[in-house]
């Protein structure tokens, strides 16, 4: 189960790592960030691929080309454009039809110049030693395929203005064979994945994200932040507890904090770097981020029922011995205070038994600090700090250990003059 819609991946994450030069690579990138990987081995393998691109960053510094040029090359390199065999018929048509000769030559020249530039300035210059073996083979296959097209030979003929009918026929046959054998289709698939990886690596470099390590016990994030904020406050925490309660007054930044934690866990599980200086996170089977739960009008569920159904899904997964990571922002805020205290206490106590899972819960319920599990420090407690200066709240957005007793609702009402208007 991956309940990740509250991370707003398309709207918030994608723009941070999308440096793709065309819609095909962008679609590949979108697919890469949709689904967490199934094992630590797969995650580490993708990390190594991205680290390989980062290590080759100097080579890709000027990686660019015209999107229109790519589209025209793609449009040309289709089977229907290479079905004019046998060679003799093709040669005769090119000899006696200037229009056919000019059109075919122009398309071939464009393809040669595009593909040779990609190989000569980028693919052939890559330091393969820094990539894992499986992906090293992919890069070798890309380079070997392009080398087999004899692109430098034809580019030289083109530049010397010596690209004749026999060369047009010869190169057309070479391209036709690669198309019929599915080699070009395989090449484009690898090429667009190559560009998706390159795009991610550029994003990681630009934002200085760190690759996380994984552990079965313990959770540490050092100087992490939400990357969508213009001037984010970095926070750090480490915990060995499987239930973490977050408190703090309204507008202190609890939801943003939880979203940042959730994003770090998700990014780590798709093999990317995370917005932190250092990260050690648990490997989990399921991820559930519940931050913006609303009434489900279409299905008729109230906010409270939506919370219950989501909680049940998470607990069911944990009961089946899955490693779960879940975030609950203001759990049970959809019911009255008395109910919320009672069922929150029951839920929190129950969640502590799932030692292989980890649960982050924010709450306004001050009564929960009287739980035996809180007093005995079986549950970790943190709060987002807020200072009062001249009876005015100053939100620092800094995470601290312990419990917040600060209430700013009354202060803000008085500051806005609502107490006088309502008095």
pLDDT in tens, 187-222: 999 999 999 999 999 999 999 999 999 987 889 999
* DSSP string for 193-218: HHHHHHHHHHHHHHHT-BPPEEESS-
Q: Give the pLDDT score at 416.
A: 63
Q: Are β-strands 219-224 and 235-239 bridged in parallel, bridged antiparallel, or unpaired?
A: antiparallel
Q: Give the pLDDT score at 418.
A: 56
Q: Give the pLDDT score at 327.
A: 96
Q: Phi then psi for 397, rounded to 5 degrees? A: 60, 20
* Residues 224, 184 within the same domain: no
Q: Give the pLDDT score at 273.
A: 98
Cβ(351)–Cβ(242) below 8 Å: yes
* Residues 193, 249 within the same domain: no
Q: Give the pLDDT score at 104.
A: 84
Residues 202 and 42: their CA atoms lie apart, in Å, by 21
Query: Which of 351, 360, 331 minimizes the C-alpha distance to 262?
Result: 360
Weakly modelled stretches of the chain, pLDDT under 70: 84-100, 292-301, 408-423
Q: Are β-strands 219-224 and 324-328 bridged in parallel, bridged antiparallel, or unpaired?
A: unpaired
- Rounded to the nearest integer, the mean pLDDT of the chain is 89
Q: Give the pLDDT score at 72.
A: 96
Q: Give the pLDDT score at 250.
A: 78
Q: Give the pLDDT score at 272.
A: 98
Q: Are β-strands 243-247 and 358-362 bridged in parallel, bridged antiparallel, or unpaired?
A: parallel
* Residues 89, 225 within the same domain: no
CATH code of the domain covering residue 36: 1.10.1420
Give the angle subtended at the CA of 339 by the CAs of 333 and 345, to the nearest 5°.
Answer: 85
* Residues 201, 262 within the same domain: no
Query: Which of 384, 379, 380 minimizes the C-alpha distance to 399?
Result: 384
* Residues 107, 187 within the same domain: yes
Q: Give the pLDDT score at 297.
A: 43
Q: Give the pLDDT score at 300.
A: 45
Domain coverage including residue 325: 213-422
CATH code of the domain covering residue 323: 3.40.50.300
The three-class DSSP label of residue 384 is: strand
């Amino acid at each position: 189960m991956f309940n990740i819609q509250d991370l707003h991946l398309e709207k918030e994450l994608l723009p941070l790592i999308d440096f793709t030069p065309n819609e095909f690579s962008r679609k590949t990138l979108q697919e890469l960030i949709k689904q967490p990987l199934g094992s630590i081995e797969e995650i580490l393998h993708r990390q190594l691929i991205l680290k390989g691109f980062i290590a080759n960053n100097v080579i890709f510094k000027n990686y660019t080309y015209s999107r229109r040029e790519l589209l025209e090359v793609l449009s040309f390199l289709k089977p229907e454009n290479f079905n004019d065999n046998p060679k003799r018929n093709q040669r005769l048509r090119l000899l006696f039809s200037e229009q056919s000769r000019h059109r075919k030559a122009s398309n071939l020249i464009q393809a040669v110049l595009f593909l040779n530039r990609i190989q000569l300035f980028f693919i052939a210059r890559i330091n393969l030693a820094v990539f894992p073996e499986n992906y090293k083979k992919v890069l070798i296959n890309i380079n070997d395929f392009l080398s087999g097209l004899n692109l430098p030979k034809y580019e030289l003929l083109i530049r010397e203005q010596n690209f004749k009918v026999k060369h047009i026929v010869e190169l057309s046959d070479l391209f036709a064979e690669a198309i019929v054998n599915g080699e070009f289709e395989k090449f484009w698939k690898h090429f667009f994945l190559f560009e998706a990886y390159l795009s991610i690596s550029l994003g990681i470099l630009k934002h200085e994200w760190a690759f996380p390590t994984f552990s079965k016990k313990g959770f540490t994030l050092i100087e992490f932040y939400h990357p969508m904020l213009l001037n984010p406050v970095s926070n750090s925490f480490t915990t060995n507890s499987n239930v973490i309660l977050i408190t703090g007054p309204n507008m202190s930044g609890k939801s943003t904090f939880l979203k940042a934690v959730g994003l770090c866990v998700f990014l780590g599980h798709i093999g990317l770097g995370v917005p932190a200086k250092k990260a050690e996170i648990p490997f989990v089977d399921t991820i559930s981020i519940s931050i913006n739960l609303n009434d489900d009008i279409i299905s008729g569920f109230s906010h409270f029922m939506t919370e219950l159904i989501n909680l049940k899904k998470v607990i069911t997964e944990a009961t089946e011995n899955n490693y779960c990571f879940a975030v609950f922002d203001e759990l049970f805020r959809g019911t009255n205070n008395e109910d919320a205290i009672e069922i929150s206490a029951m839920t929190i106590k129950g969640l502590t038994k799932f030692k292989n899972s980890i649960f982050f819960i924010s709450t306004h319920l001050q009564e929960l600090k009287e739980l035996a599990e809180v007093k005995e420090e079986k549950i970790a407690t943190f709060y987002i700090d807020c200072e009062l200066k001249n009876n005015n709240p100053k939100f620092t957005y800094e995470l601290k250990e312990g419990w917040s007793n600060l209430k700013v609702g009354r202060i803000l009402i008085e500051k806005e003059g609502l107490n006088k208007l309502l008095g």
